[in-house]
Structure 1
């Protein structure tokens, strides 16, 4: 498998973590978002959406990080990242969607670029926008978590895979995490696990 990735892409980061946790053999193919390589003809021929990540498999190319993660689960590849109990599984998915659908889309690179280039928002205003929506999202996530080292249960799930990249970028934009001790605890614990460490942005071949 080939994963088309960018070192600071939250969505690609999710898939890198999952590939590592599941022990799946893969090749990383960097696509530079800052240079708009995702809009180039070669990449669009693989992923018409022009977004990252994309996973190239023997069956074809699959885009959208959550679809990729669910495909890993549906094809029983590597260790399970969803609970077997249907209710617990739904709780994990609920948490994932809160990150991937409610927080990430309004804070991703193309939105921030639009704010700067089309609406004339300066860097301070753009960063204020980012922090506001992350904080509002984290306020909803914090009560969903218990006291354990992971989001749910005693093993990493798709919830942890979605949370860690979002916290990484929150810290990069200097979000004050003092109001979110449970989120911070999960983030810190996950980053003691080699699969998470190896997937971290600073450890990628295209890290800048």
Structure 2
């Protein structure tokens, strides 16, 4: 076999490695995308509660010390949005971004709203800081304020455009961001989704979809055993 061709074949056989924590909504996004695209990967658990993300070894993968991180041969990506765009380019057969410019822009807008204006304000690092400065009673109120603010905007944005999924009738990039955020809002922060009918309907769709089910936190190898 030609040496150059052999290298290509071998690189294609190398399984992606996803450094993930079971409860991380950013990792959850990437797991959904990998499942939707039918891409096999090796799960590498990083226990945030044990500060495994702060080891020198992990810092080499992601200098900001967050999960997820994706390793594809000599390519290392340490941001969920960047990972998703990389997967979109590498595995285009099952697209998460449509060709229609209006629909593509809406997908990116939803993803950015969740990834920039909601999730970072209720992640573990921020909530711990809020608790240190203002007390435990303020931690939940802080998270709920920012989630509700974001959900009100998303409901207005999607109520007249959503199909079976957030943008049309196929799961796309927007859904990979929405599903983990909706789960976190209800499971951890006591948000009543009945206030947001479109988001509540989408949440039920995600609950019934195999790719979303397989990506759920409790279905990950590092999730605590229920036995």
Query: Which is helix-richer, 1 or 2?
Result: 2
Q: What is residue 12 of structure 2 aligned with on the other side?
A: none
2:218 is aligned with 1:205 = no
**Which of structures 1 and 2 has the bigger CA Rg?**
2
2:207 is aligned with 1:194 = no
Instruction: Report if aligned partners of 2:114, 2:150 keep a CA contact under 8 Å in 1.
Output: yes
State the 1:148 CA deviation.
2.1
State the 1:25 CA deviation.
1.2
Instruction: Extract unaligned runs of 5+ from structure 1.
Output: none
Select 1:102's aligned residue among 117, 133, 148: 117
Q: What is residue 8 of structure 2 aligned with on the other side?
A: none
* d(CA) in 2 for partners of 1:99, 1:23: 24
* d(CA) in 2 for partners of 1:139, 1:46: 36
Instruction: Report if aligned partners of 1:5, 1:30 keep a CA contact under 8 Å in 2.
Output: yes
Q: What is residue 64 of structure 1 aligned with on the other side?
A: 79
TM-score, normalising length from structure 2?
0.87
Query: Structure 1 residue runs of 4+, over 3 Å off?
Result: none
**Structure 1 residues 141-150 or 188-197, which shifts more?**
141-150
Instruction: Report if aligned partners of 2:111, 2:177 keep a CA contact under 8 Å in 1.
Output: yes
- Which structure has more RCO (C-alpha within 8 Å, separation ≥ 6)? 1
Q: What is residue 137 of structure 1 aligned with on the other side?
A: 150
Instruction: Report if aligned partners of 2:131, 2:138 keep a CA contact under 8 Å in 1.
Output: no
Q: Per the alignment, do residues 78 and 23 of structure 1 end up closer, same or farther by CA in structure 2, a change over 3 Å counting?
A: farther
Instruction: Extract unaligned runs of 5+ from structure 2.
Output: 1-15
Aligned ranges for residues 142-153 of structure 1 at < 5 Å? 142-145=155-158, 146-153=161-168
